[in-house]
Amino acid sequence: MASNSKRPLPQGERFFTADATGLRRAVERRSAVPMAYLFTQVPRWVPPVVLVVLLLTGLAVASPVGGVAALVVLVFLVWLAYLSWPSLRPGGKVLRVAVAVFVALLAATRFGLIPG
């Protein structure tokens, strides 16, 4: 990919949570490189398409393969929810928890932990 086609980082907002300590600070610092790469170097359409394919695989394949696909989606969703949590309103927090619970239950049914 040509260097002039890379997207710049967003302007105006802080990349890290102000006054973050402990686990949040460590996760934000370790996530900085993958986040910057994912959202600036990879074509904009790739992450959503990959997540949709993995989610559809989790929904369609009633075996541990579907469970692994759902777990990958769950890890990505929880990672983004954790990073965005301080800036979310209560409705956004509830929605993220509900989606994470749904995907976790989907993965559990695919692994046979919950009859489905």
**Domain that residue 55 falls in:** 21-110
pLDDT tens, position by position, 21-66: 677 777 777 777 777 777 788 888 998 999 999 999 999 999 999 9
Report if residue 8 sits inside a domain.
no
Report if residue 60 sits inside a domain.
yes
Report if residue 4 sits inside a domain.
no
Whether 86 and 17 have beta carbons less than 8 Å apart is answered as yes
Model confidence band, residue 111 (pLDDT cutoffs 50, 70, 90): very high
Other Cβ atoms closer than 10 A to 84: 13
- Report how many domains make up the chain: 1
Report if residue 6 sits inside a domain.
no
pTM for the structure as a whole: 0.75
Report if residue 87 sits inside a domain.
yes
Assigned token pair, 8:
């710049």
